Chains A and B, each alone.
Chain A
Amino acid sequence: MISKRKAGFRKWLPFYLMALPCIIYFFVNNYLPMGGLIIAFKNYNVQKGILGSDFVGLENFRFLFSTDEAWIITRNTLGYNLFWIFLNMFIGVAVAIFLNEVRTRVAKKFYMSAILLPYLISMVVVSYLAYAYLSEQTGFINAIFKTFGLHTVAWYQNAKYWPFILTIVYEWKNIGFNAITIFASVVGISKDYYEAAEIDGATKWQQIKKITLPMLKPTIVMLITIGMGNVFRSDFGLFYQVPRNVGLLNSATDTIDTFVFRALLQTGDIGMASAASFYQSIVCFITIMVFNGLMRKYSKENAMF
């Protein structure tokens, strides 16, 4: 029995060795930091390290939630995400349906390349693109305003413009990803339905309403569920780079991720940072579990596990 087990082990050993580099990497990169979450309950001291620092109970959380910022960053993170999930669906489905109409290969390839391009560049470069338009002195938009004799706008000093600017930049960058994702499902709808509908004299609009949209329902539900699971995460790059980390804009541009970064590396308030980071990790975990659970009920093959 033992020798049999030994032989089995020898047979499988190469596979365990193959898995080993990744096992070690995930331990270092993912599992150790999960243990490191304990720092949120401690008064972090560089000399004493993560384990040696003194416990302070819920002190860090009391500080965090006594500030207005805790409310602002939660509101901004949730608000932008919820709005964008639905905007993504609307624009993504529309663009995917248009893409599906195009029969010419070259044209289709051109459109897909063009709309996906913004998705491929870094947020730092995006901030330069945005700056080329929005800079107060040399921006393209203000240059246009000047030629028409209008007053220039200090975009980077007024929080009220930023919900719009961030939405435009976000959609500009992600439209291709969303559209192509949904397009993959639109392509999968059998042509027979449309042919039958055409013979019966259905207009295009009727075909979209009666065939395409109902057939896309599972994809839409899946994408909304994934989006809802990540509703407490924000794209750090978008909120940090595009507003160029200007404090004046914080009421409109600060999210949990930018707040954690600033507290950790710019103001050095590790207690505050770790409490906010812990809060995000836990709430994220809960939302992901809840929405993945819903997914399992609704369509098991699309659930993560």
Chain B
Amino acid sequence: MNRSSKRFLKLSHIVLLLLSCLLIAPFLLLIISSFTDETTAVQNGYSFFPQKFSVDAYRYIFSNFRIFGKAFLITAGVTLFGVLLGVTMAALMAYAISRPGLPGRKILNFYVIFTMLFNGGLVATYLTYVSVFHIKNTYFALLIPNLLCNAFTIMLIKNYYQTSLPTELIEAARIDGASEWAIFFKVVMPLSKPIIATVALIVGLAYWNDWQNGLYYLDDTSMHGIQNVLNDMNSNAKYLMQFAHSGGTAVPTTTVRMAIAVVGILPILCIYPFFQDYFVKGVTAGAVKG
């Protein structure tokens, strides 16, 4: 390694370390703010080094568990159900269009791809769901529009099936008299764990982070998941006042806002260290095949 390379290596570490700190700082500010004493936050503003810490904000959330716990469970339930259903549907479709010799395979392929090229846009989609399927103010609204399946994940799985699935195993199972469904669930699915895990993370993240469906289709705020509760607090300054505070004192709104946002990212922060490789794989897989 010559001198120029060594110097460049040092520079790389300095730049990346600085960049990492800059990108993580907002998360720290958010978390520290949520543990700040309300009066301190109001007087001195949000700070990385508050004068006084407090867990009042979290106490408020727990005293209103009926509201916030429910929102959290709605989001968790929709995410779980959406991932199970969406990934299964995508894998089935991907398997079908990756079968060589299937009559109409090209048409099916185009049917999927075309959804990436052209779409009806918000107004037509909204009116279709509302006036044709009457989805407004039902939990279907959180599960179905836009999130369940998309061409991108199907293509991701299809590419995997076409390149990494050992056809001999499928043939062997077929000779043993297994039905195509049994082959799919007992042979193909277990063999495609890496891609299924990656896609499940992508889909799960999309469900967990979604607030648009709730915003478009749910007027009833009691059906809102955690992201929509965050959105409600943004659009309605008095949102937090409507719930009683157990202590009888004023609601610590300045810090509670931040505490609820922390609750909104908590699951991601918790699983991220363990699934980091899959996240990176999901990101790069998407990038290589636009």
Contacts and interface: CB of A to CB of B under 8 A. Distances in A.
Contact of A50 (B127, B145, B268): B127
B149 A36 contact: no
B43 to A, nearest CB: 9
A223 B290 CA distance: 8
B122 A95 contact: no
B54 to A, nearest CB: 15
A180 B280 contact: yes
A148 B154 CA distance: 55
B30 A277 contact: no
Interface in B99-126: 99, 102-103, 108, 110-113, 115-126
Contact of B254 (A31, A115, A118, A138): A138
Interface residues of A, number: 108
Contacts of A248: none
A114 interface: yes
Interface residues of B, number: 103
Contact of A304 (B17, B95, B276, B290): B290
A236 B125 CA distance: 15
Nearest to A272: B123
A273 interface: yes
A177 interface: yes
A18 B95 contact: yes
A138 B4 contact: no
A95 B15 CA distance: 8
Given A22-B92, A50-B127, A37 B120 contact: yes
B129 to A, nearest CB: 8
A109 B276 contact: yes
A124 B47 CA distance: 21
Contacts of A39: 123-124, 127
Nearest to A128: B261
Contacts of A29: 125, 144-146, 148-149
A52 B201 CA distance: 42
Contacts of B149: 22, 25-26, 29
Contacts of B120: 30, 32-37, 277, 281
Contacts of A98: 11-12, 15-16
Contact of A22 (B48, B131, B154): B154
A10 to B, nearest CB: 11
A116 B289 CA distance: 19
A8 to B, nearest CB: 7
Contacts of A110: 20
A132 B34 CA distance: 10
Contact of B284 (A181, A257, A270, A277): A181
Give 7 nearest A-B pairs by CB, closest first.
A33-B120, A143-B45, A36-B124, A122-B209, A181-B287, A114-B20, A14-B180
10 contacts: A19-B92, A25-B89, A26-B111, A99-B12, A113-B273, A128-B258, A129-B261, A133-B29, A135-B45, A175-B19
